[in-house]
Amino acid sequence: MVRPIGILAGLGIVTAVLWSLLWGAVAYIQSPPQMSAEHYVQHHFQPKKDISFSFDGPFGTYNNQQLQRGFQVYKEVCSACHSLKLVAFRDLEQIGFSKPEVKAIAKGWAIETPTLNPDTGEPSTRKSVASDRFPLPFANDIAARAANNNAIPPDQSLLAKARDEGPHYIYRLLTGYGTQPAELLKKYPDVKTPTGLHYNPYFPNLNLAMAPPLTGEGQVSYSDGTKATVPQMAEDVSAFLMWTAEPKLDQRHRVGWAALIFLFVFTSLTYMAYKSIWADKKNKSL
C-alpha cells in the first residue's frame, strides 16, 4: 500500500514541475521580458574604457607618485563635497609625504571644536593637526542636501571597495559624462535626464546629481609636471581612493606570497619526510 502511494506522490511532483516549466515557457513566448533602459545602455552606449592600475593583480603595488597626484585632485576638486572621514592626515606619510609636509597639509584644513565663540555664538574652529581625520565638508546632512540638489555626497574613504570593480568604476564614472543619446530617449522616454541631474551611462540609474567634477585640462596643476588631462586626473584620483579604501594592499600582497612560498616549502618537506620514513617499511613488506 505504501509503495503505490509513494509512486503516485512522485508522479504528482513530476507532473507539477513539468506543468510549471511548460507554463513558464508559454508565458515567456507570449510576453518576453523587456530589456531595461539600464541594460540597453550597458549594451549599446557604454564606451569601453579599459585601464590598468599599478596595483592590479596579485603582484600589484601602489605608485606613490600617482597617489600623491590623486590626493591633489581630491584636495582641490573632490573635498568641496566629499569627505574622507576614516582617513587621518598622518596616514599620508604612507604614500610618500614627509612629516613636515603632512603638518603643512593639515594646517590647510580647519576643524570645528566643541566650544562656541563667546562673541558670535558660532562654533569655533582651529587648524587641523596631523593626528586629525579629514574634516567633513558640511556641518550636517541638511546642509549637504541643500548644496547638492537634495543628494548627500557619499564619503569616499571606502568608496573603491563599496563599488563593483572599485577604481575602474570610479574612473569610468568620472570620464563618462555626456549627452543623452536620442536613440535611448526614443526607446525609453521615461529615462530623460531631469533638470538638475546629469547623464552618465556608467551610473546605475543613468542620471546623477553630481555635476562633472573634472571639467578640463589644467584644472589641477601637478607639482611633478604631469599633464593634467581629464583621463589622467580621473586615473590618479581613482588610484588614491583605492589606497584610502585599502592602504595595506602592498603589505597584504607581500604576506600572501610569503605564505604561499612557506606552504610550498612545508608541503615539499612533508612529502620528502613521508617518502623517507615509509621507504624502509615498504621495502620490508615486499
Instruction: Please name the residue that has the C-alpha cell 540609474.
Output: 205
| Confidence check: pLDDT of 252 > 80 | yes
Amino acid 121: pLDDT: 65
For residue 249, which amino acid is it?
L
Annotated binding site: 78, 81-82, 210
What is the pLDDT confidence band of residue 7, given thresholds at 50, 70 and 90?
confident
Amino acid 168: pLDDT: 95
Sign of CA dihedral 59, 63, 66, 72: positive
Question: What is the full DSSP assignment across 35-92?
Answer: PPHHHHHHHHT--------TT-STT----HHHHHHHHHHHHHTGGGT---TT-BGGGG
Phi, psi of 244 (to 5 degrees): -60, -30
**Per-residue model confidence as pLDDT tens digits over 180-194:** 888 888 888 888 888
Annotated binding site for heme c: 78, 81-82, 210
Report, at the CATH architecture level, how domain 41-87+133-247 is classified: Orthogonal Bundle (1.10)
What is the pLDDT confidence band of residue 273, given thresholds at 50, 70 and 90?
confident
**For residue 176, which of 206, 221, 153 has the smallest C-alpha distance?**
206
| Confidence check: pLDDT of 230 > 90 | yes
Query: What is the chain's mean pLDDT, rounded?
Result: 86
pTM of the model: 0.80
CA–CA dist 211, 60 (Å, integer): 32
**Per-residue model confidence as pLDDT tens digits over 132-155:** 999 999 988 999 998 888 889 999
**Per-residue model confidence as pLDDT tens digits over 65-99:** 999 999 999 999 999 999 999 999 999 999 999 99
What is the pLDDT confidence band of residue 240, given thresholds at 50, 70 and 90?
very high
**Per-residue model confidence as pLDDT tens digits over 8-27:** 777 778 787 777 777 666 65
SS3 254: helix
| Confidence check: pLDDT of 33 > 70 | no
| Confidence check: pLDDT of 214 > 90 | yes
Domain ranges of the chain: 2-33, 41-87+133-247, 253-286
